[in-house]
């Protein structure tokens, strides 16, 4: 029960760090509370709504009643399985916009600007263009994470992109390349028809090294002596000793929880729970951010949507084909077209994201009552609302208290109304004329600001992108929790690396940036020089100051 490095959490970031440390020859133990990821419910891309709703694979967290959403409690799924949330997510792959990372650097995360992180995105990827165009010179060719594109064989995927062009928006052949802004194909972490989670990409290869092992257990706290992390205590009393460092990679909810349990956090909060204060860091658990989205649903004139497969017989056939050949509808997450647009003139880079889906369905698998339909998930990317994660007690078995404080700014409501109105305009284009029957949700009757606000309040859902709760910043910043080399400020030999360290949420889905964080953190941990900075310049709309599209 001893290793050079002890990693807490075998999720997206922890798996990547484990792989790089194992490769270096140092000994590494990774602690994971969840179980194995075997079986079709996790490995089959089209089955993505199952693991997210299963207590076996999900921590089952929920927010407290949200004050600005009439007291609704929103699901906050987090992966409790090897691969972490990359084993239960929607497999959508988005790096984020170049300006997101430049903003991080401006906020004190020096060395994490786009020019610094782009080489790590390239190192981690093997990109499969699949005959859909793109920017090969911006993409990785031999990394552990395989990134592919769906076949886009349904006409609706093309109608969505064509409608965007008709509405005057940009097209992009690769939103993960030079140009994020525009309509185009969506990318997925799927390889040879299987979910290509961080467990498949990084953890399983790492465990083949003799110097790498996994320990099952629930973390009670990080052991700290004289301001130095020495190991990890599990809830069953076992102690795992770290000869060199402890690296916390438990995610945006459990990382702050474990720091607080270990006595690292706001001193008043800790003392109130009877926890000995080891480092007074006011930022632990604060700065919680997420993306919200709504599902804009249209009834379809033509019976070409995935609804035709929404029956036991068809699902069985799709499942059988996938089990035998790893091909067919089971081999895609069905998110195969996407868009990133700007909400108004004067916004420098996209602040609205679209996921398009050729069926009208909820994330929990509840299909729209209307039958044949399609939808787009749409939401703003940079909400000013901030929440927090706090402890209820010092019992490690007790779930933390999560308050997102969603929709707490007037700008949130304005942004969502804009999303709905811009989306209606896209669905009204010629390209959709053969397909759109009528609007299922919100419905044509919902038009005024007040009506839209009521709809938003009742129907807005989390996109499951929580982050920011152990913010990275300058060591002198009182709200920063980790410095730009991932060291927890105030405690030696302890690092934290996962989506909790993001100073500000990135554009799009967070799995890509989380894995990149692991790749870059591994170099800091191993004392290596960072990869040479890139001089690639991202595309920014030339007339962004005066034009929305």
Q: How many CA atoms lie within 13 A of 494 on its CB side?
A: 28
Cα 343 to the center of its chain, rounded Å: 22
First to last CA, the chain: 57
Please check if 92 is assigned to a binding site: yes
pLDDT of residue 132: 66
Show the tokens assigned to 234.
Answer: 């599990």
pLDDT per residue as tens digits for the range 201-235: 999 999 999 999 999 999 999 999 999 999 999 99
Q: Which residues contact 448 (CB under 8 A, 6 or more apart)?
A: none
Dist CA 403 CA 65 (whole Å): 8
Please check if 493 is assigned to a binding site: no
Please check if 472 is assigned to a binding site: no
Going 532 to 473 to 402 to 32, the CA torsion angle's sign is positive
465 is catalytic: yes
Mean model confidence pLDDT for the chain: 97
Is residue 131 within 8 A of residue 182, CB to CB? The reply is no
Query: What CATH number labels 151-185+292-380+408-459?
Result: 3.30.410.40
* Residues recorded for the chain: 549
The residues spanned by each domain of the chain are 151-185+292-380+408-459
Q: Which residue has the tokens 């600005």?
A: 68
Total-model pTM: 0.98
**Residues paired with residue 194 on neighbouring β-strands, in sequence order:** 191
Distance (Å) of CA 367 to CA 225, 249, 511: 54, 35, 26
pLDDT per residue as tens digits for the range 144-181: 999 999 999 999 999 999 999 999 999 999 999 999 99
For residue 219, the surrounding DSSP H or E stretch is strand 219-225
Show the tokens assigned to 457.
Answer: 């309040």
Is residue 525 within 8 A of residue 242, CB to CB? The reply is no
Dist CA 366 CA 87 (whole Å): 21
Q: Nearest to residue 354, comparing CAs of 463, 246, 260, 254?
A: 463
Q: Dihedral, CA atoms, 175, 177, 179, 180, nearest 10 degrees? A: 30
Q: Which of 33, 146, 355, 465 does the annotation list as catalytic? A: 465
Dist CA 317 CA 311 (whole Å): 10
Q: Which residue has the tokens 């896209």?
A: 426
**Residues paired with residue 234 on neighbouring β-strands, in sequence order:** 219
Q: Which residue has the tokens 């009506």?
A: 451
Is residue 493 within 8 A of residue 463, CB to CB? The reply is no
Please check if 227 is assigned to a binding site: no
In the predicted structure, residue 134 carries a pLDDT above the cut 90? no
Please check if 232 is assigned to a binding site: no
For residue 269, the surrounding DSSP H or E stretch is helix 267-272
Dist CA 148 CA 130 (whole Å): 7
The percentage of residues in the chain with a pLDDT greater than 70, rounded to a whole number, is: 99
pLDDT per residue as tens digits for the range 315-365: 999 999 999 999 999 999 999 999 999 999 999 999 999 999 999 987 677
Dist CA 269 CA 281 (whole Å): 11
């Amino acid at each position: 029960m001893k290793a050079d490095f002890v990693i807490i959490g075998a999720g997206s970031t922890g798996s990547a760090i484990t792989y790089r440390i194992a490769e270096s020859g140092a000994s590494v133990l990774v602690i994971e509370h969840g179980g194995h990821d075997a079986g079709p419910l996790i490995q089959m891309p089209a089955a993505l709504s199952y693991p997210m709703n299963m207590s076996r694979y999900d921590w089952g967290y929920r927010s407290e009643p949200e004050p600005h959403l009439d007291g609704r409690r929103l699901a906050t799924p987090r992966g409790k399985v090897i691969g972490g949330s990359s084993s239960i997510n929607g497999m959508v792959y988005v790096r984020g916009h170049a300006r997101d990372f430049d903003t991080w650097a401006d906020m004190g995360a020096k060395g994490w600007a786009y020019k610094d992180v782009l080489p790590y995105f390239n190192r981690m990827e093997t990109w499969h263009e699949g005959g859909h165009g793109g920017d090969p010179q911006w993409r990785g060719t031999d990394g552990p994470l395989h990134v592919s594109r769906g076949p886009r064989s349904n006409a609706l995927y093309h109608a969505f992109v064509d409608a965007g062009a008709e509405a005057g928006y940009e097209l992009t052949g690769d939103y993960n390349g030079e140009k994020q802004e525009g309509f185009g194909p969506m990318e997925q972490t799927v390889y040879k028809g299987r979910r290509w989670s961080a467990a498949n990409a990084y953890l399983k290869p790492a465990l083949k090294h003799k110097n790498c092992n996994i320990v099952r257990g629930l973390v009670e706290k990080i052991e700290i002596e004289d301001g130095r992390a020495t190991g990890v205590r599990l809830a069953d009393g076992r102690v795992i000793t770290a000869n060199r460092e402890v690296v916390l990679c438990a995610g945006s909810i459990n990382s702050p929880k474990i720091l607080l349990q270990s006595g690292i956090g706001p001193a008043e909060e800790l003392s109130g729970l009877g926890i000995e204060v080891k480092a007074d860091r006011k930022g632990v658990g604060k700065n919680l951010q997420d993306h919200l989205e709504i599902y804009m649903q249209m009834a379809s004139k033509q019976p070409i949507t995935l609804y035709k497969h929404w029956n036991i017989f068809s699902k069985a056939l799709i499942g059988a084909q996938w089990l035998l050949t790893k091909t067919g509808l089971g081999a895609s997450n069905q998110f195969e077209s996407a868009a990133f647009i700007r909400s108004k003139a004067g916004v420098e880079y996209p602040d609205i994201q679209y996921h398009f889906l050729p069926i009208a369905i909820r994330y929990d698998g509840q299909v729209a009552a209307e039958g044949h339909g399609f939808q787009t998930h749409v939401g703003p990317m940079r909400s000013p609302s901030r929440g927090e994660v706090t402890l209820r007690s010092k019992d490690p078995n007790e779930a933390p208290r999560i308050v997102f404080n969603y929709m707490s700014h007037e700008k949130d409501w304005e942004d969502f109304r804009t999303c709905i109105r811009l989306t209606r305009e896209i669905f009204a284009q010629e390209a959709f004329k053969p397909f759109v029957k009528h609007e299922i949700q919100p419905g044509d009757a919902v038009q005024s600001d007040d009506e839209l606000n009521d709809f938003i309040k009742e129907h807005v859902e989390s996109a499951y992108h929580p982050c920011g709760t152990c913010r990275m910043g300058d060591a002198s910043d009182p709200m920063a929790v980790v410095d730009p080399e991932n060291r927890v400020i105030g405690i030696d030999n302890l690092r934290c690396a996962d989506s909790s360290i993001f100073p500000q949420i990135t554009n799009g889905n967070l799995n890509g940036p989380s894995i990149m964080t692991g790749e870059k953190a591994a170099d800091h941990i191993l004392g290596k020089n960072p990869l040479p900075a890139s001089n690639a310049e991202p595309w920014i709309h030339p007339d962004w100051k005066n034009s929305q599209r």
